[in-house]
A and B are shown apart, each in its own frame.
Chain A
Amino acid sequence: MRAAHLQAVASGPSAAPAEAAAGHRWFPAGTHITVRGLTKRFEGGTLYENFDLDIPKGKIISIFGPNGCGKSTLINMMSGIMPYDSGQILFEGKEVRESRIGYVFQNYREAVFPWLRARDNIRYPLQFLGLSRAECDARVESLLASFDVKLDLNRYPYEMSGGQQQLVSIMRALVVDPEVLFLDEPFSALDYEMTLFLRDRLQKVLIERQTTTLLVSHDLDEAVCLADIVLLLTKRPTHVSEIVPFDAPRPRTVDTTVTPEFVRVKSHCLEVFQREVRKP
Chain B
Amino acid sequence: MITHLSRRWGPRLQPLVGALLIIFLWWFAHEVKLVDPVLLPSPGESLDAFWKGLTQGTLWGDFYKTIVRTFASFIIATVIAVPLGILLGSSERVYRSLEFAIDFFRSTPASAMFPLFLVLFGVGEATKIAVAAFGAGLGILFNVSYGVMNARKQRQLAAKVMGASSFKVLRDVTLWESLPQTFVGMRSGVSLALVIVIVAEMFIGSTDGLGQRIMNAQMVFDMPEMYAAIFAAGALGYVLNLLFLVAERRFVHWGGK
Say whether A103 faces chain B, with CB atoms less than 8 Å apart: yes
Min CB distance, A180 to chain B, in Å? 11
Q: Which residues of B contact A125 (CB under 8 A)?
A: 162-163
| Contact surface of B with A, Cβ cutoff 8 Å | 152, 154-155, 157-164, 172-173, 176, 179, 253-254, 257
Pick the contact of B173 from A101, A102, A107, A113 — CB < 8 Å? A113
Q: Rank and list the top 6 A-B pairs by shortest CB-CB distance, nearest first.
A: A114-B254, A158-B257, A125-B162, A128-B163, A110-B154, A103-B161
| Contact surface of A with B, Cβ cutoff 8 Å | 79-81, 97, 100-103, 105, 107, 110-111, 113-115, 124-125, 128, 156-158, 172, 176
Q: Are A111 and B162 in contact, with the CB atoms below 8 A?
A: no
Q: Are B155 and A81 in contact, with the CB atoms below 8 A?
A: no
Contact A113 to B164, CB < 8 A, known contacts A105-B154, A158-B257: no
Min CB distance, B159 to chain A, in Å? 8
A-B pairs with beta carbons under 8 Å apart, 20 shown = A79-B161, A80-B160, A100-B163, A101-B161, A103-B158, A103-B162, A105-B154, A107-B154, A110-B152, A113-B172, A113-B176, A114-B257, A115-B176, A115-B179, A115-B253, A124-B162, A125-B163, A156-B253, A156-B254, A157-B254
Closest B residue to A107 by beta carbon equals B154
Q: Are A113 and B161 in contact, with the CB atoms below 8 A?
A: no
Pick the contact of A128 from B154, B157, B164 — CB < 8 Å? B164
Q: Are B155 and A111 in contact, with the CB atoms below 8 A?
A: yes
A253 to B163, CA, bound (A): 34
A214 to B200, CA, bound (A): 64
Q: Which residues of B contact A102 (CB under 8 A)?
A: 162
Q: Are A110 and B155 in contact, with the CB atoms below 8 A?
A: yes
A78 to B179, CA, bound (A): 32
A87 to B154, CA, bound (A): 25
Q: Which residues of B contact A115 (CB under 8 A)?
A: 176, 179, 253-254
A115 to B161, CA, bound (A): 19
Q: Which residues of A contact B162 (CB under 8 A)?
A: 102-103, 124-125, 128, 172, 176
Q: Which residues of A contact B172 (CB under 8 A)?
A: 113, 124
Q: Are B161 and A80 in contact, with the CB atoms below 8 A?
A: yes
Q: Are A111 and B254 in contact, with the CB atoms below 8 A?
A: no
Q: Which residues of B contact A101 (CB under 8 A)?
A: 161
Min CB distance, A89 to chain B, in Å? 14
A79 to B164, CA, bound (A): 14
Q: Which residues of B contact A97 (CB under 8 A)?
A: 163
A157 to B164, CA, bound (A): 21
Q: Which residues of A contact B152 (CB under 8 A)?
A: 110
Min CB distance, A109 to chain B, in Å? 9
Interface centre among B154, B179, B253 (most CB of A within 10 A): B154
Min CB distance, B171 to chain A, in Å? 12
Min CB distance, B80 to chain A, in Å? 25
A111 to B157, CA, bound (A): 8
Q: Which residues of B contact A105 (CB under 8 A)?
A: 154, 158
Q: Are B163 and A81 in contact, with the CB atoms below 8 A?
A: no
Contact A113 to B253, CB < 8 A, known contacts A80-B161, A125-B162, A128-B164: no
A81 to B159, CA, bound (A): 10
Min CB distance, A108 to chain B, in Å? 10
Min CB distance, A112 to chain B, in Å? 8
A103 to B160, CA, bound (A): 10
Q: Which residues of B contact A158 (CB under 8 A)?
A: 254, 257
Q: Which residues of B contact A113 (CB under 8 A)?
A: 155, 172-173, 176
A105 to B160, CA, bound (A): 13
Closest B residue to A104 by beta carbon equals B158
Closest A residue to B179 by beta carbon equals A115
A164 to B158, CA, bound (A): 18
Min CB distance, A14 to chain B, in Å? 34
Q: Which residues of A contact B163 (CB under 8 A)?
A: 97, 100, 125, 128
A128 to B165, CA, bound (A): 10
Closest A residue to B255 by beta carbon equals A114
Q: Which residues of A contact B179 (CB under 8 A)?
A: 115
Q: Which residues of A contact B160 (CB under 8 A)?
A: 80-81
A102 to B163, CA, bound (A): 10
Q: Are A81 and B176 in contact, with the CB atoms below 8 A?
A: no
A172 to B155, CA, bound (A): 13
A71 to B155, CA, bound (A): 20
Q: Which residues of B contact A111 (CB under 8 A)?
A: 154-155, 158
Min CB distance, A33 to chain B, in Å? 15
Known: A110-B154, A111-B155, A176-B162. 19 other contacts (CB 8 A): A81-B157, A81-B160, A81-B161, A97-B163, A101-B161, A103-B161, A105-B158, A110-B152, A111-B158, A113-B173, A114-B257, A115-B179, A115-B254, A128-B162, A128-B164, A156-B253, A157-B254, A158-B254, A158-B257
